[in-house]
Amino acid sequence: MEFKLKIWRQKDARSQGRFVDYSITGVTGNMSFLEMLDYLNKTLIEKGDDPVAYEHDCREGICGSCALYINGRAHGPADEIATCEVRMRLFKDGETIVVEPWRAKSFPVIKDLIADRQALDKIMQAGGFISVNAGSAPEANSIPVSRESADDAFDAAICIGCGACVAACKNSSAMLFVAAKVSHLALLPQGRKEARKRALAMVAKMDELGFGSCTNTTACETECPKGISMTHIARLNREFLLSGFQT
């Protein structure tokens, strides 16, 4: 297979970026998208050119590092998978593929395809944790938790913090990310102790960092590689309102 690639190249955060065209041949359908970029970089290095900078780590769809905008979609053409899980057989032979970093004010570009997503870490530092002494791991049945709550908490906890929800949202809102982090703790008794200040602190930090507001376009849910539901945003709104009344 062969492809024409239009890749965003930017020397550093202070430089002006632009799309650069590349042609690549010898790609197999079983290659992942990142393996294709590895192959491209190998050819660039052999020519003495600067390789394309992009972020990756586990390559198993669980770390959220491989955050790329591909042909106008966060993480590429498939549903509920991260960029590292996208296989080249999903593209047509000879197709032109446009590759960009996340586009959001809160995610400034560091170099090429790498965006600075530290803003999500700062939101987590504001309250996405349990700081009270919860003791050692209890016996499974000592704290009753309904099956429905446990399932919902797990569904929220699988958020990998990739930022696709922010990149897909026309407002660059981080509501789905914050909602998932607030929701999975709010649903469990261990997280209720600090639920009041958690919602207030994380929403305040999100606003401080310049993320936009949620207008329920559902783009975040559609592009989330883990399929996290917008119902968690409703729970975040409820937690936030209740916290405000209790302060």
CATH code at position 235: 1.10.1060.10
Residues 69 and 10 in one domain: yes
Residues 55, 154 within the same domain: no
Output the pLDDT for position 141: 76
- 90-106 pLDDT tens trace: 999 999 999 999 999 99
158 and 220 both lie in a single domain? yes
Q: Do 142 and 68 share a domain, yes or no?
A: no
Amino acid (1-letter code) at residue 21: D
| 53/104 same-domain check | yes
Q: Is the pLDDT of residue 140 over 90?
A: no
pLDDT at site 246? 58
| Residue 123 and residue 44 share a domain | no
| Residue 136 clears pLDDT 90, i.e. is over it | no
pLDDT in tens, 70-87: 999 999 999 999 999 999
Chain segment 175-195, per-residue pLDDT in tens: 999 999 999 999 998 888 888
Same domain for 137 and 99, yes or no, is no
pLDDT at 137 over 80: no
How many independent structural domains does the chain possess? 2
- Do 147 and 75 reside in the same domain of the chain? no
Per the structure block, which two tokens stand in for 65? 């590092």
Q: Give the pLDDT mean for 215-224.
A: 95
3-state secondary structure the chain: CCEEEEEEECCCCCCCCEEEEEEECCCCCCCEHHHHHHHHHHHHHHCCCCCCCCCCCCCCCCCCCCCCEECCEECCCCCCCCHHHCEHHHCCCCCEEEEECCCCCCCCEEECCEECCHHHHHHHHHHCCCCCCCCCCCCCCCCCCCHHHHHHHHHHHCCCCCCHHHHHCCCCECHHHHHHHHHHHHCCHHHHCCHHHHHHHHHHHHHHCCCECCCCCCHHHHHCCCCCCCHHHHHHHHHHHHHHHHC
Separation in Å, CA 21 to CA 3, 89, 125, 215: 10, 21, 40, 36
Write the pLDDT tens digit of every residue in 2-20: 999 999 999 999 999 999 9
Instruction: Please give the average per-residue pLDDT across 28-42, as a whole number.
Output: 97
In this predicted structure, the answer to whether residue 62 has a pLDDT above a threshold of 70 is yes
What's the rounded Cα separation, in Å, for the pair 110 and 24? 25
Residues 21 and 123 in one domain: no
Q: Say if residue 202's pLDDT is above 80.
A: yes
Average pLDDT, the chain: 94
Q: 197-227 burial, b for 16+ CB within 10 Å, e for fewer?
A: ebbbbbbebbeebebbebeeeebbbbbbbbe
Task: Print the domain residue range for 94.
Answer: 3-111
Q: Are 77 and 19 found together in one domain?
A: yes
Residue 144 confidence (pLDDT)? 86
pTM: 0.92
CATH assignment of the domain containing 100? 3.10.20.30
**Residue 208 pLDDT level (bands cut at 50, 70, 90):** very high
